[in-house]
Amino acid sequence: MALKTFKPYTKSRRGTILVSREGLWKGRPFKPLTLPNSSSKGRNNYGRITSRNHGGGHKHKYRKIDFHRKKIDIIGEVERIEYDPNRSCHIMLVKFEDGERYYYLAPKDIKIGDKIQNGSKSEIKVGNCLPLKDIPVGIDIHNVEINPGGGGKIARSAGTSVSISGIDGNYSIIKMTSGEVRKINFNSMATIGVLSNPDQKNIKIGKAGRSRWLGIRPHTRGVVKNPVDHPHGGGEGKSAGGRHPVSPTGQSAKGLKTRDNKRTDKFIIRRRKKKRV
């Protein structure tokens, strides 16, 4: 995928950079694999706003992605590659020999007409899904299960992948993009390849309206608020906040560890690199 720039007819057009969707399916999604997608607008089950600045956005349907790769030892063919408004990477519609169709996350080098397969009998090829114990060390993988049968949870966004750096008994040692190294059961499934749309990180929205299409509402900085509204608020003139950055509730906004899961700590060999505060 190539990046698109525009002639600066307007101020917003001057800085806009988007990803070209040339080669992607131009029609509607496969209807049996779609669901209505009503956005929560940042509200919880009580209707109270728990995530600020969410709301609006263009109407779209949810595409049901098979993160479990349920079809084992049956060959499927990639029918088309589609844009998905619900995620940063592209998706592919795969038709299997028994006539069933599934949506999968699309790897970077997959093409229409390619054959893919799930299960331990599959060859080491981009798009194929195998247990970690059958994948050689050093191969880039995505959509990795944390627990066998739990469905892919790791490396699902555009351009991402993790790699197998070793084996330790019944565990594969996985190196994450964050720098964390952890052990995962070697019966967990993973898909070969790097995910599609790596240029997603280079997008420049260009105008406020495009953010509204994505469901992002305007955000007011804490330093321009009053002290009653934000810990950074108040002060004469343009103040800098006078303290380390925090959320409106006073929680550190620079890499504070908010969760502690002792049950899974034993699987972490090396923690991710911490941000400087």
Q: What is the tens place of the pLDDT at every residue in 196-227?
A: 999 999 999 999 999 999 999 999 999 999 99
For CATH 2.40.50.140, the residue range(s) in the chain are 3-200
Mind giving me the DSSP string for 126-170?
Answer: TT-EEEGGGSPTT-EEESEESSTTS-EEES-STT--EEEEEEETT
Tokens (6 digits) for 166:
């070793």
Using the predicted structure, report yes or no on whether residue 269 has a pLDDT greater than 90: yes
pTM, to two decimals: 0.90
| Average pLDDT, rounded, for the chain | 93
- Domain boundaries 225-268, corresponding CATH code: 4.10.950.10
**pLDDT tens figures, 86-109:** 999 999 999 999 999 999 999 998
Say which residue the tokens 């790791």 belong to: 154
pLDDT at 2: 87
Burial of 83 (C-beta count, 10 Å sphere; 0-12/13-18/19+): middle
**pLDDT tens figures, 160-180:** 999 999 999 999 999 999 999
Q: Amino acid identity of 49?
A: I
**Rounded Cα–Cα distance for residues 274 and 140 (Å):** 24
For CATH 4.10.950.10, the residue range(s) in the chain are 225-268
* pLDDT band, very low/low/confident/very high, at 277 (cuts 50, 70, 90): very low
The architecture in CATH of the region 3-200 reads Beta Barrel (2.40)
